[in-house]
Amino acid sequence: MSRPAIVTRFAPSPTGLLHLGHAYAAWVAWDAARRAGGRFLLRIEDLDQGRARPEFEAAILADLEWLGLDWDGPVVRQSERADAYRAAVDRLAAEGLVYPCFCTRRDIAAEIAAAGAAPHGPEGPVYPGTCRDLDPATAAARIEAGDAYAFRLNVGKAVAAVGQLVWRDAVAGEVRAEPGRFGDIVLARKDAPASYHLAVVVDDAAAGVTLVTRGRDLFEATDVQALLQTLLGLPRPGYRHHALIFGSDGKRLAKRDRAATVQARREAGHGPEDVLRAARMAAAE
C-alpha cells in the first residue's frame, strides 16, 4: 500500500511583514512537501481583525512568490471559517466540556494575586477556574444581557475523558501530552469565533494536513491541540518543530524588526536564494 502524500502548510498572520524567521518556516514546509511530491498549502490566520491588514496579506503573497515558494490550491482565510469553528465549539459544549467565562484579564489577575501564588503553564499563569461552576441559568442570563464572555474548555474533565495522549515530533520522537498544564483554555470569545488552539486543529483537519512544521516555541502547544483533536475526532498529523531565528540582541525575530524583513532585503538588492540561504544559516539546522 502506498503511503499518503505529505501535505504541509504555512500559516502567517497578516499583522506585519514577513521576516527571515517566516521565510525559513515557509521554506521548511514547502521543501518537505516538494521533496515528497506532496502539497504545500497557504492559510492566512486573520482572526485578529483589529490588527490584520489587507496590505500585509498582499505583501505576504508577494514575498512568497518572489522567494519561489509556490502553494497549491486557493489561499484559505480563517476569517471566512467562522461556521466551522462554531460547529466545533457546539460539539464540545454538547458533551458538557465547555462553559462561558465572564472574567476580564483584570479579574483573573486580581484573583491570582489574592491567591498568593498561581500555577504557571506554558502560556503563563493558569486560569483559576472562577466561572467553571457558575450556575447555568445565571450564565445564560448574562449572555442574553450582552455581557462579554469567552467559552473555555474544562480541561480537567476533558483529560479525564480521553486519558493519556501521545503525539509524535520528527525530532523529539514520541511525546506524552500534558494538556492539563494549560488550564481551562479559551476556545472562542463573544467577538472572536475561535482561539488559536481551536482554529488550527479544525483548519489542519479540513485541509488534510499530514505534517505540521512550525517553530520550537509552539512545541508545548501541541499537547493541548492533541487533546482537541481527540475530543473532536480529528486526525492527528505528524509534527516537526524547527529552530527559531534570533536577532543580534539574542531575541527571537519579531515583525517590528524591519531590517530582517524579506521586503527590506529585496529592496537592498538581495536575491531570493540569498534570503533563503541567510534564513537557513541563521536557523543553523
| Residues carrying an active site annotation | 255
Phi/psi at 176 (nearest 5 deg)?
A: -80, 120
Tell me how far CA of residue 148 lies from CA of 94, 100, 103, 131, 223, in angstroms. 21, 10, 9, 13, 28
Instruction: Give the cell for residue 278.
Output: 541567510
Q: Count other Cβ atoms within 10 Å, centred on residue 127.
A: 23
Q: Are the C-beta atoms of residues 68 and 97 closer than 8 Å to each other?
A: no
Q: Rounded to an integer, what distance in angstroms lies between the CA atom of residue 49 and that of residue 35?
A: 35
Strand 76-77 to 39-44 pairing: parallel
CA torsion 145→133→103→110, rounded to 10°?
Answer: 140
- Of the candidates 237, 186, 188, the one whose C-alpha atom is nearest the C-alpha of residue 11 is 237
Q: Count other Cβ atoms within 10 Å, centred on residue 124.
A: 11
Instruction: Give the cell for residue 176.
Output: 506524552
Q: Rounded to an integer, what distance in angstroms lies between the CA atom of residue 166 and that of residue 181?
A: 15
The H or E element that residue 124 is part of is strand 124-125
Q: Where are the strands (E) in 85-129, listed by range? A: 98-101, 120-121, 124-125
